[in-house]
Structure 1
Amino acid sequence: MVVVAFALAVLAGTALLMLPQARTEQVGAPFVVALFTSTSAVCVTGLVVVDTPSYWSTFGEVVILGLIQVGGFGIMTLASLLGLLVFRRLGLRSRLSAAAETKATGLGDVRTVVKGVVAISLLFEAVTAVLLTLRFAWGYDEEWGHAAYLGVFHSISAFNNAGFALYSDSLMGFVSDPWICLPIAFAVIAGGLGFPVWLELYRRFHPTWAWSMHTRMTLAATAVLLVLGTVFVTASEWDNPATLGALSTPDRLLAGFFQAVMPRTAGFNSLDYGQMHEGTLLGTVILMFIGGGSAGTAGGIKVTTFVLLFFAILAEVRGESDATAFGRRIDPRAVRQALTVALLAVGAVVASTLLVLQLAAVSTEDALFEVVSAFATVGLSTGITADLPTAAHLVLVVLMFVGRLGPITLVSALAMRDRSHLHRLPEGRPLIG
């Protein structure tokens, strides 16, 4: 149901974007362009094959904004909300679907979770929109109506980790403006933590020892990755005259932090990734692949998957029988699920990179960057997206769709396939390493 619902949303968005009213030239967009843009919006990615502000009309931009919001909420979450509003109840099928998408702990908790998802989304989007609107109006002399439109669009795009911008160079024109960069960055972080974390923090902010392993793991990993990412990007690009080298020291620190936040699957950029060092691009690929928190607007394999594998490796190196974290023993089944998700993601990225290299005359690092950006629903690019052939665009469309739904449906399916056997086969022990 989740897969079909997202597919229908993509097709509906494609049809709307193919209308003449959606383009500034009043001519319907080609099917592949509309499909790519719709998929990128619904899957909250941000990759584009055309320049958003000049190619799409205001109607087209509003359609894209609506698709971002629908994709960020989640199709099943939105359907469940409508069911609550219209019928004031949820059937078993709706509760099962919403629980799978929002990672609700129980069927009785679905109503609370759905309402919480909507409340959290609207709260962060509203606060960010107000801050951006004031800055656009007072700092850049935009009329209040247009400033509000810019604020709302970028706030929704930021919290939902979509990365669509109404400027041709994304946010490069605001690289030195903390009143634009910081609200957008914090909205991205908030959306990337995941709704289960925010709901738990709302219910019991204190004491911290009562937090679940998932919340502790997500917050700790997010903080570590943000700090390490900021240090890495800033140090790597410090003397690059095409990126940080031309900025003052405070502006370098701001831009370094902003570029460390965006690979968490947001897609905005205040620096030109096409001018960055290859080492910086590789580090960004790693950050994109890890992604953000589960059951939120972020993509990637998720930080919990990455941290679970880290603690599993640590336990194996130490010779311990159980993997532990934050004073708790990790369920071996969760470790197997994390390993499955990570290996399938690696397989999808490697196969797609090879395919793109066969279809387009691009370098390996550019192809890898583009593929990981699509699979992890990030939206960052070195500038090759529009120049790729149609076949490569379709590969990225599939990757964005799989990246948005694959981890969700895969983990849900694995969680529901807990089968027991009345016998166990004789043990074998192949040599490892």
Structure 2
Amino acid sequence: MISIKTVLKKKKLSTGKYPIFLRITKDRKSIFFRTPYTTEVREWDAKQGKFNTKASDYLNKNRLLLKFQDRATTVITQIEQENTYYTLEEVERNLRIETNPKGKEIYPFWEEIITEQKMAGRTGNARIHSEVVKSIKKFSGGKELSFYQITPEFLDKYEAWLRSNGGTGGGIGVKMRCIRALFNTAIKRGRIKENLYPFKVYKVSKLKSSGIKKALSLDEVHKIADIDLSERPTLIDARNYFIFSFYTRGMNFADMMTLKWNDINGDRLYYIRSKTKSNFQIKILPPALEVLDYYRAQNRKTNYVFPILLEENMTFSHLENRKRKTLKRYNKRLREIGELCEISKPLSSYVARHSYANCLKQKGIATDIISESMGHQNIAITQAYLKELDNSLVDEAMEVLL
């Protein structure tokens, strides 16, 4: 049995009055929520838990106290419908969520998440979240938003606005997954209730990237590795980064950028992937070792393996700016290398990762092994990943029809 009543706490304030609380009692235990009201003892009806006729504007004050009780009753009813057995702690958590309008504002919570991501070294995620915040603010005219306002209708309109400004399915999908992650975290931390979750209706899965994943054959990778760049020395770093990425299970550029010499021990390389926080321990194959030897001989001042970050202890913004600038240059030079090697597929940093997976597939390596080597959370991700890559095996199989 649970009871709700407004009570006067007998602890006098500096004003000489006493605070009024909402008391919720269950199993002989009580929790208290302070109301905005204070009063003198003579103005309070302790038996009925309300202001008496001696209090000024007592009728209006009592109406507002009833609203506090009604709100608590609604929250408790919702909890009882979901779970017959519940505790006062659950009531307190849900009531605080329900009665705290500031806690439902989306931008302060979002900034909190971004700060946590920066502290955890997840600079890529922090950058994406920051970009989505700017985009949402632009769409909504800079107005403060609450979680209540992010409805399926809001998301539909936001999607339409993004498309009208040149957005594609893949890019819009990134933004929507970012918003979905924010809601999941807010629910997990008790900031909002699950009934506010808009993604039961709005499906992110409908947003598909228009781009097709490109992958190289092993022969094409060897072409890049073996090309003579003595007359094009500005392309050497780009070639080395690509080959190193391919032979380290498709290590992405962000992780290569921050890789340090002390991450290498003997014939093993150890690192934590920034995107997924998965731990990797990789055997260094001869082509990757050749790249490492090239940069070890340079004997630079920093502890970074590659000459991408030129100083230690860079700030988040400096790190992101450097990454964006060097990645753009890297991709541009990869395209030049592709032309020199007469490879028709457009090269980019991610083609090394795609190519790694595709070459293993063509060599007949089991999908579960490919999945584990790439750090995918489950084999379904790898299956979807491989499905979008090179179809040469299917093409060869079809030749039996000729």
Higher relative contact order (CA 8 A, sep 6+): 1
Larger strand proportion of the pair? 2
TM-score surpassing 0.5?
A: no
TM-score normalised over the length of structure 1: 0.23
TM-score normalised over the length of structure 2: 0.24
